[in-house]
Amino acid sequence: MPALVLLGAQWGDEGKGKATDLLGGSVDYVVRYQGGNNAGHTVVVGDQKYALHLLPSGILSPGCTPVIGNGVVVDPSVLLSELSGLNERGVDTSKLLLSGNAHIITPYNVTVDKVTERFLGKRKIGTTGRGIGPTYADKINRVGIRVQDLYDESILTQKVEAALDVKNQILTKLYNRRAIAVDQVVEELLGYADKLAPYVADTVLVLNQALEEDKVVLFEGGQGTLLDIDHGTYPFVTSSNPTAGGACTGAGVGPTKISRVIGILKAYTTRVGAGPFPTELFDEDGEALRRIGGERGVTTGRDRRCGWFDAVIARYATRVNGLTDFFLTKLDVLTGWEQIPVCVAYEIDGKRVEELPYSQTDFHHAKPVYEMLPGWSEDISKAKSFSDLPKNAQSYVKALEEMSGAPISAIGVGPGRDETIEVNSFL
Ligand code: IMP
């Protein structure tokens, strides 16, 4: 079973870092295939806490080669500062591979992200402001800058010129901002070339060769299923494909190579940014989930919106990703509630609906239909096996599994590396 995809089954922030890190010790390559430094993974190793944005979690496992695939958008300054931050803490980052085809988040992409959001006002998406959307827009518009362009000054200059030609018109005439100088951008980008050179590689070739040699490759999704540009709650989504298919295009491997797709599922639901969220809580329960779960964005520091578990979304994630397993995280956060509501269906304009509506209007009108499950009060953070969990916690997990449509193969009971119950092995 050499190729696994690990991705968020909800709106991101499900605790993917912990899951990837758990597997990191037994895999040969950990690959990011989409997104950029809009992501934020927290990995706790011993008493050390690492916040990663762009680098794959595998960077913390000495035997593992971390890879940034062609589908990722890369802000070179963020990448270099994340690398030097890890080096200062004694982490060896020399094995990192960076696709020459990955697109670069330029300074003007960041500017456009911020001014567009400001311009949208009430209708803003609530982006992370990292330039993600505008960089993917340039990629699709065929005016993007790729990592390989840093090594040909003439090509780089022509491409920056082409990109800024239109953007400067928009910035000056529509947004009333100053034009951005081509030379300045080119100079800044060229300044990254030598520093990035040791990492740049043909990652598609490397990964396919690795798979031929039966090496274990883990594809690590950023964000989550409901933030997918095609399958998420459009337009309140990110600009890439975190869903399983994105691993194929964003890393250059065929779908026949993927053997397992693991969805990371939080035992309740969170979301950052704008957009519909049927089980969102505005009361003290929501506040308690936020406080106990530490639900504050790793990247933006924004408070996350919190709500009960939504089985309709979990079923949807199983379907669009072809999930083979779930990794249930943060079960410990639910300790202490007498009863735990779980959303089993929606009521939309007076009708009960079991599956995620494809219409944006319907989804905005969806009200959760709850089933109450009995809670538990015992500390579960020391549980090592499923049978160590209190009966009601076991029933909660079993109920989620049944509603969600794939086996729950691991359960997170605390933030630490060891605080995980493995029900079935992933490898
Ligand atoms: P962007 O990815 O910065 O363009 O933001 C688009 C939407 O995706 C916003 O609602 C963000 O809050 C959300 N988003 C982006 N990255 C993450 C993430 O890693 N976790 C959760 N939400 C995210």
Report pLDDT digits (tens) over 20-54: 777 867 899 999 999 999 988 777 777 888 888 99
For residue 89, the domain's CATH number is 3.90.170.10
- Ligand 1: atom nearest CA of 133 is 4
Q: Are 246 and 221 in contact (CB under 8 A)?
A: yes
CATH number (domain holding residue 169): 1.10.300.10
- Which residue out of 227, 234, 295 has the highest number of ligand 1 atoms within 8 Å of its CB and is therefore the one to mutate? 227
Task: Give distance in angstroms: CA of 125 to centre of ligand 1.
Answer: 9
- Say yes or no: 83 and 128 in one domain: no
Do both 248 and 292 map to the same domain?
A: yes
Distance CA 308, CA 340 (A): 8
Cα of 296 to ligand 1 centre, how many Å? 13
Query: How many Cα atoms sit within 13 Å of 182 on the Cβ side?
Result: 14
pLDDT at 299: 75
Number of domains present in the structure of the chain: 2
Cβ of 238 closer than 6 Å to ligand 1, yes or no, is: yes
- Give the pLDDT score at 1: 58
Q: Is 32 in the pocket of ligand 1 (CB under 6 A)?
A: no
Q: How far is the CA of 321 from the centre of ligand 1 (A)?
A: 19
Look at residue 2 in the predicted model and tell me its pLDDT. Answer: 85
In this structure, the answer to whether residues 254 and 347 fall within a common structural domain is: yes
- Considering the domain architecture, whether residues 153 and 239 belong to the same structural domain is answered as no
- Residues labelled as active-site residues: 13, 41
- At residue 212, φ and ψ (nearest 5 deg) are -65, -30
Is ligand 1 within 6 A of the CB of residue 40?
A: yes
Residue 3: per-residue pLDDT = 95
Q: Domain range for residue 165?
A: 103-197
Residues contacting residue 61 through CB under 8 Å, at least 6 positions apart? 21, 24, 25, 27, 30
How many helices and strands in the chain, by DSSP H and E? 12, 20
pTM higher than 0.85, yes or no?
A: yes
Instruction: List residues bridging with 339 in a β-sheet.
Output: 374
Residue nearest to atom 5 of ligand 1 (CA): 127
Residue pair 30/221 in contact by the 8 Å Cβ criterion: no
Say if ligand 1 is within 6 A of residue 76 CB. no
In 3D space, the residue among 103, 69, 104, 100 whose CA is nearest the CA of residue 201 turns out to be 100
Ranges of the chain whose pLDDT falls below 50:
none
What's the confidence (pLDDT) of residue 44?
76
For the chain, how long is the longest CA-to-CA vector?
Answer: 67
Decide if 32 is inside a domain: yes
